[in-house]
């Protein structure tokens, strides 16, 4: 018969085999599965020291997936901080020039509203509200309307060509 710690380690490894987890997420998941708090903490600590669990890897994967979904930095920061990831770790992963975020905001805008830019104040306000809700900063939304990064946005076909250096 296996010791409870070995079984708990195997359960945690099975979870990590499916996807990356933040340290705090994995700990909470183990507790929800019935592990005592202290045992869950020691297993997560052990897995972190062996490299099986990594907040850095989790953050990298989370940022990549959510940027590709068209989410902005503010939404991503909020979600990661809720999962126990430090602001410093998040900022390292989200450190991109405004032009890249403007490109991502334009992609999200085009996907939702089509390729035509807003012609009146109401349309522009509605699209701005949408982008702010997706987590793009007011600076990025303003830059989109003012044409910052136009060298990147000038080729409308380039928006469909694939990722831009993110």
pLDDT at 154: 52
Instruction: Name all contacts of 64-67 with Cβ < 8 Å and 24+ positions apart.
Output: 64/166, 67/104, 67/166
Which of 94, 122, 149 is the last residue before a domain boundary?
94
pLDDT at 66: 94
Q: Give the number of residues written for the chain.
A: 166
**Looking at the domain assignment, is residue 111 inside a domain?**
yes
pLDDT at 9: 94
Q: What is the CATH number of the domain that holds 36?
A: 1.10.10.10
* Domain co-membership, 83 together with 102: no
* Domain co-membership, 25 together with 61: no
Close Cβ partners of 95 (under 8 Å, ≥ 6 residues apart): none
Q: Which tokens go with 137?
A: 């900063």
Contact (CB, 8 A) for 40 and 31: yes
Q: Give the range of the structural domain holding residue 64, as residue numbers without chain letter.
A: 56-94
Q: How far apart are CA 115 and CA 143, in angstroms?
A: 17
pLDDT (tens, 9 = 90+) of the chain, 166 residues, equals: 344 588 999 999 999 999 999 999 999 999 999 999 999 999 999 999 999 999 999 999 999 999 999 999 999 999 999 999 998 899 888 888 878 899 899 999 999 999 998 989 999 999 999 999 999 999 999 989 887 655 555 544 444 434 433 3
* Domain co-membership, 103 together with 144: yes
**Looking at the domain assignment, is residue 165 inside a domain?**
no
* SS3 state of residue 52: coil
**Looking at the domain assignment, is residue 164 inside a domain?**
no
Contact (CB, 8 A) for 20 and 85: no
Q: How many domains does the chain have?
A: 3
């Amino acid at each position: 018969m296996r010791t409870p710690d070995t079984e708990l380690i195997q359960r945690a490894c099975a979870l990590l085999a499916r996807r990356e987890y933040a340290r705090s997420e994995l700990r909470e998941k183990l507790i929800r599965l019935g592990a005592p708090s202290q045992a869950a903490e020691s297993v997560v600590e052990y897995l972190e020291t062996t490299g099986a669990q990594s907040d850095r890897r989790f953050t990298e994967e989370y940022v990549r997936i959510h940027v590709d979904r068209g989410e902005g930095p503010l939404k991503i920061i909020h979600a990661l901080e809720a999962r126990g990831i430090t602001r410093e770790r998040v900022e390292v992963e989200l450190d991109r020039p405004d032009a890249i975020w403007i490109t991502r905001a334009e992609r999200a805008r085009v996907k939702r509203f089509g390729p035509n830019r807003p012609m009146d104040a109401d349309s522009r306000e509605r699209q701005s509200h949408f982008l702010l809700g997706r987590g793009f900063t007011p600076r990025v939304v303003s830059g989109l309307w003012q044409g910052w990064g136009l060298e990147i946005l000038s080729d409308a076909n380039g928006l469909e060509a694939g990722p831009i250096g993110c």
